[in-house]
């Protein structure tokens, strides 16, 4: 949790000063690092950090002020997005995340509340990524303290399954999952992963258990549905590998095929019209947890790793055991008779 003030920097610029409410030394170290990481990212779809200053012993981040801005979360709560506006927002969102990834920064907390919408010319809203509090450089070794803080503070509904298990070791594909969850909500108007408790949400996330987009909002372009599915695979290796590919799939310029329930994927650049092959619908019973009310439409579980199969004793093993037993019996009888 942070407090924000409108401030004038000594260089004359108006900014937003973000100061953590916490006095926890780990979280304070995180705030200073957040400012440093964000300051290195200069892109129209990322809120620029101008400075990190000391505010009575607490690090404060001086950010570019996003005037008249509200969050994507507020925009989604206000109602469904018209397709043109949605396309523009998605384009800016993908550009911003791609820029962070190119700079080697994984955000790890992408969600509608962390996207500010800046009033642009006319009716246009420009998405600006903010809150790099959980971000980390891609090639940095995991930090246990950061990981713990990250798990507590990250938002489960947009968090990749592998991040829910171990936030410290995720790569940029965790952001791809979060983008998938955000795109789903932008198209459907409802979150992909909901539940009454944190446990329910996490259970659905770790199984990629969500209602198919075409069931929630019939008639959406197939390419949008394919793009969302291409992000929401439990196995990171099955997701679109990067934002550039996601952009192509979203636009229908690259065909993305998930076969055998997500066992294989391939992208074919340069395909003008999207030819889509969906993974087979899963059996709802398979993925609904015990005691959990199942959704009215069978959920789609993308690339859920197969349950570990019990390993039996091989056939030759049984033969060897029986032989040893028979030989033992014969020897015992022979000894008694002798």
Could you tell me whether strands 115-119 and 125-129 are parallel, antiparallel, or unpaired per DSSP bridges? Answer: antiparallel
Query: Counting contacts by CB under 6 A, is residue 178 touching ligand ATP?
Result: no
Query: Counting contacts by CB under 5 A, is residue 71 touching Mg ion?
Result: no
Tokens of 290: 């015990």
Query: Counting contacts by CB under 6 A, is residue 39 touching ligand ATP?
Result: no
Q: How far apart are the first and last CA of the chain?
A: 86
| Identity of the residue, 17 or 227, whose beta carbon is nearer to ligand ATP in the bound complex | 17
**Residue 71 interacting entry, from Mg ion, ligand ATP, none, C-beta within 5 to 8 Å by type:** ligand ATP
Q: Which of 36, 47, 37, 35 is nearest to 92 (CA)?
A: 47
Of 51, 109, 171, 242, which is the active-site residue? 109
Number of residues that bind Mg ion (CB under 5 A): 2
| Identity of the residue, 107 or 204, whose beta carbon is nearer to Mg ion in the bound complex | 107
Query: Counting contacts by CB under 6 A, is residue 4 touching ligand ATP?
Result: yes
Q: Which of residues 97-116 bind ligand ATP (CB under 6 A)?
A: 113-114, 116
Query: Taking the complex as a whole, how short is the minimal distance between the CB of residue 278 and ligand ATP, in angstroms?
Result: 35
Interface pick for Mg ion out of 114, 147, 178, 245 (rule CB under 5 A): 114
Look at the block and give the residue holding tokens 């790569």.
171
CA distances from 284 to 63, 195, 205, 305 (A): 46, 17, 15, 16
Query: Counting contacts by CB under 6 A, is residue 131 touching ligand ATP?
Result: yes
Query: Taking the complex as a whole, how short is the minimal distance between the CB of residue 118 and Mg ion, in angstroms?
Result: 16
Q: Is 131 a catalytic residue?
A: no
Q: Which of residues 45-84 bind ligand ATP (CB under 6 A)?
A: 47, 63-66, 69, 71
Query: Which helix (H) or strand (E) element contains residue 182?
Result: helix 173-188
Per-residue b/e over 39-77, b at no fewer than 16 CB within 10 Å? bebebebbbbbbbbbeeeebbbbbbbbbeebebbbebbe
Distance (Å, whole) CA 65 – CA 31: 18
What is the CA angle 286-178-122, rounded to 5?
130
**Residues in the chain, overall count:** 338
Query: Counting contacts by CB under 6 A, is residue 133 touching ligand ATP?
Result: yes
Query: Counting contacts by CB under 6 A, is residue 303 touching ligand ATP?
Result: no
Interface pick for Mg ion out of 64, 75, 131, 185 (rule CB under 5 A): 131
Look at the block and give the residue holding tokens 């399954």.
161
Answer yes or no: are the C-beta atoms of 163 and 106 closer than 8 Å. no
Tokens of 121: 């010319």
Task: Point out which residues bind ligand ATP (CB under 6 A).
Answer: 1-2, 4, 16, 18, 47, 63-66, 69, 71, 113-114, 116, 130-131, 133
Task: Point out which residues bind Mg ion (CB under 5 A).
Answer: 114, 131
Active-site positions?
Answer: 109
């Amino acid at each position: 949790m942070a407090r924000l003030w409108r401030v004038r920097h000594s260089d004359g610029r108006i900014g937003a000063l973000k100061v953590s409410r916490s006095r926890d030394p780990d979280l304070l170290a995180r705030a200073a690092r957040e400012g440093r990481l964000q300051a290195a990212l200069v892109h129209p779809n990322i809120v620029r950090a101008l400075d990190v200053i000391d505010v009575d012993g607490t690090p404060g981040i001086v950010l570019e002020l996003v005037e008249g801005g509200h969050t994507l979360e507020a925009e989604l709560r206000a109602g469904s997005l018209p397709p043109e506006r949605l396309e523009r927002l998605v384009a800016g969102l993908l550009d911003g995340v791609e820029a962070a990834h190119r700079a080697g920064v994984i955000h790890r907390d992408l969600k509608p509340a962390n996207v500010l919408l800046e009033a642009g010319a006319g009716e246009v809203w420009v998405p600006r990524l903010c809150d790099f509090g959980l971000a980390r450089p891609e090639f940095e070794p995991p930090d246990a303290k950061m990981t713990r803080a990250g798990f507590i503070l990250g938002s489960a509904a947009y968090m990749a399954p592998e991040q829910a298990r171990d936030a410290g070791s995720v790569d940029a594909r965790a952001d791809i999952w979060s983008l998938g969850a955000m795109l789903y909500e932008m198209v459907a108007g409802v979150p992909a992963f909901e539940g009454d408790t944190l446990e329910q949400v996490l259970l659905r996330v770790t199984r990629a258990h969500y209602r198919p987009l075409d069931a929630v909002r019939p008639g959406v372009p197939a390419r949008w549905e394919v793009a969302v599915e291409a992000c929401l695979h439990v196995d990171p290796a099955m997701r679109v590998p990067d934002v550039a590919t996601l952009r192509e799939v979203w636009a229908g310029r690259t065909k993305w095929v998930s076969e055998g329930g997500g066992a294989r994927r391939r992208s074919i650049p340069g395909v003008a019209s999207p030819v889509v092959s969906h993974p087979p619908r899963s059996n709802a019973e398979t993925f609904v947890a015990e005691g959990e009310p199942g959704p009215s439409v069978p959920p789609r579980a993308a690339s859920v790793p197969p349950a570990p199969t019990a390993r039996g004793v091989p056939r030759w093993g049984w033969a060897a055991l029986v032989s040893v037993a028979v030989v033992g019996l014969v020897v015992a009888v022979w000894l008694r008779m002798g």
